Amino acid sequence: MENEGQEKESEIVTKVNLKEDFQASGVADILAELDNSLIGLTPVKTRIKETASLLLVDKAREKLGLVNESPTLHMSFSGNPGTGKTTVALKMANLLFRLGYVRKGHLVTVTRDDLVGQYIGHTAPKTKEVLKKAMGGVLFIDEAYYLYRPENERDYGQEAIEILLQVMENNRDDLVVILAGYKDKMDKFFESNPGFRSRIAHHIDFPDYSNNELLEIAEVMVASMNYKFNEESKKAMAEYIKIRKKQPHFANARSIRNAIDRARLRQANRVFNNSEGPIGASFLSQIEDVDIRQSRVFSGGIDK
């Protein structure tokens, strides 16, 4: 009996079927979901697909005994606000989990406040606490450049950076770190922290959405909330996007979400004021162009 077990163990894998591995890992589902649920972002999707196939091939090579060092998976997402960095990070965590590179696949989202303490000796335990929570999953550090404040030499951010770097290097199997933020500020951050740059294998840029993509996003959002546009309101939305984009504090998809939330508010008001007698579902879910055109954006104001 014992011999049988031993023989089985010593059986050496000599062939792998990538297509089968791909199907079995469920990565295809996530990539398809990425394609369907996210509009635009073509360069991002391509990069993720490339990364996914690299990791899949790496796993296959490992099976054949060709690699034994685990690849560096830390990433940096740079792009303007509202370009879907967090959404993609969440998908990434799931992807890495399916591929077997992280054990749990949860995403822990933090900013400077969660890592850096307020007095001496506060930072290290705080950072370590966050890192421990993220182990087995993905740590997403939003606006990572705020960790480093060169203007204040006694800033505790440096301490958090040192601990981060140490854990990123020593516990590579335990967690994946994704840094995110505006492109120019991230570049500056990496310049002043070369240790970070070299420890991050994948730099992914998130481009801004075009007007058409934003309109498409608006439609998806509206549909997911069980509302609908008609021809006029769609036109109004397109005009809204055009004007809003030129205004300050434009945050891509997030601005669109806020605009839709406000349109829903006006729609509810309109429906409530105009309704007499029973009304149907279609009336309740219709967003008219007046709901959008009442926005301050059309009269030269700014929607926050």
Partner 1 sequence: MRVTQGTFSFLPDFTDQQIHEQVQYCIDNGWAVSIEYTDDPHPRNTYWEMWGHPMFDNPDAAAVVYELNECRKVYGSYYIRIIAFDSSPGWESIRLSFIVNRPSEEPGFKLSRTEVKGRNIQYSITPYSNDKPQGSRYK
Footprint of partner 1 on this chain (CB under 8 A)?
103-104, 106, 131-133, 135-137, 171, 173-175
Question: Measured from the CB atom, is 35 or 173 closer to partner 1?
Answer: 173
Closer CB to partner 1, residue 37 or residue 166?
A: 166
For partner 1, give the closer residue by CB, 92 or 131. 131
Question: Which residues is 177 bridged to in the sheet?
Answer: 139
Q: How far is the CB of 80 from partner 1 (least distance, A)?
A: 32
Residue 132 beta carbon to partner 1: minimum distance, rounded to whole angstroms: 3
Q: Which is nearer to partner 1, 131 or 259 (CB)?
A: 131
Complex with partner 1: residue 90 or 135, whichever CB lies closer: 135
Query: How open is the CA angle 56-57-61, to the nearest 5 degrees?
Result: 120
Nearer to partner 1, 96 or 237 (CB): 96
**Residues 72, 78, 83: CA angle, nearest 5 degrees:** 125
Contact 227, 200 (CB under 8 A): no
- Nearest CB to partner 1, comparing residues 132 and 149: 132
Q: Are 225 and 280 in contact (CB under 8 A)?
A: no
Least Å distance between CB 136 and partner 1?
A: 2
CB of 44 to partner 1, least distance (A): 27
In angstroms, give the least distance from the CB of 171 to partner 1. 7
Is the dihedral angle over the CA atoms 16, 28, 26, 49 positive or is it negative?
positive
Compute the least distance from the CB of residue 66 to partner 1, in Å. Answer: 23
* Minimum CB distance to partner 1 smaller for 41 or for 107: 107
Each residue of 106-129: b (16+ CB within 10 Å) or e?
bbbbbbbebbbbeeeeebeebbee
Among 101, 167, 95, 90, which Cα is nearest to 132's? 167
Residue 192 CB, nearest approach to partner 1 (Å): 28
Name residue, tokens 């469920």: 26
Closest Cα partner for 262 from 238, 240, 239? 240
Shortest Cβ 173–partner 1 spacing (Å): 8
